[in-house]
Amino acid sequence: MASNIPSCVHNATSKHTASVIFLHGLGDTGHGWLQAFKLIAQPHIKYICPTAHSIPVTLNCGMSMPSWFDIKSLSADAAEDEAGINSAADLVQSHIAAEEALGIPRSRIIIGGFSQGGAVALYSAFARAQQNLGGVLALSTWLPMHRSFPAVLKANQSVPILQCHGTDDTLIPFVMGKMTSEIVKQFDGNVQFKMYNGLGHSSCDEEMKDVKLFISEHLPPI
């Protein structure tokens, strides 16, 4: 079921032949990321940045904030909100289906996200998708419920992935991003891992240039 919260959208300015769906991190909204994508926008691509519902988050002392699922702890062995992760992953699939209804094939759709949003995108691509996508952007993130892989794999075992992580990230440590890359490579060898020296839990111009290049390579004009 699609969210009833309107997505931030930057429509294609020429013939719409591809789409990017990108999810924000914990406590954020889609607005800021849409502004970032506008700076690297290509005319044939539609950019969609949904905003999560506000829900109580255990990590935030139970206070409500925009979140794709509950986070109990950031430790690698923490209990996970499996129902919430699956629900968020299915929401991504509903956004993909909406683009398909407009005539955009899944091979011309890239999904992605930052931090918690990237976790949803990775899980959705591998465990909930029924067909292959054009690519996945995974920024400063991790693969949730990683112990369930490869048993839960459904699609995208060769989907191109750009995974980016700052070396000075203290929220989602760089080592967690690197570990995620190694886990994903066990069932999808088409992963490009890029590190950014001195970058914390944030983005930077260099990273967005790499994001633009990845999108250009996998969603060229047709």
DSSP 8-class letter at 140: S
Note whether residue 2 is domain-resident.
Answer: no
Could you read off the pLDDT tens digit of each residue along the chain, which spans 222 residues?
A: 345 566 899 999 999 999 999 999 999 999 999 999 999 999 999 999 999 999 999 999 999 999 999 999 887 778 999 999 999 999 999 999 999 999 999 999 999 999 999 999 999 999 988 789 999 999 999 999 998 888 887 877 889 999 999 999 999 999 999 999 999 999 888 999 999 999 999 999 999 999 999 999 999 999
Number of domains in the chain: 1
Q: What is the pLDDT of residues 118-140, one digit of tens each?
A: 999 999 999 988 789 999 999 99
Instruction: Give catalytic status of residue 201 as yes or no.
Output: yes
Domain-embedded: residue 58: yes
Q: Which of 19, 44, 70, 115 is catalytic?
A: 115
Q: Would you call 168 a catalytic residue per the annotation?
A: no
Q: Say if 179 falls within a structural domain.
A: yes
Residue at 67 is within a domain: yes
CATH of the domain at 28: 3.40.50.1820
53 as an active site residue: the answer is no
H or E element that contains 23: strand 18-23
φ and ψ of 23, to 5 deg = -105, 135
Nearest-angstrom CA–CA distance, 85 and 74: 15
In the set 169, 181, 188, 218, the catalytic residue is 169
Is 132 part of a structural domain of the chain?
yes
**How high is the pLDDT of residue 156?**
78
**Residues spanned by the domain of 159:** 8-218
Of 48, 52, 51, 50, which Cα lies nearest the Cα of 9?
Answer: 48
Would you say the pTM of this structure is higher than 0.75?
Answer: yes
Residue 1 lies in a domain: no
Residue 79 counted as domain residue? yes
Residue 3 resides in a domain? no
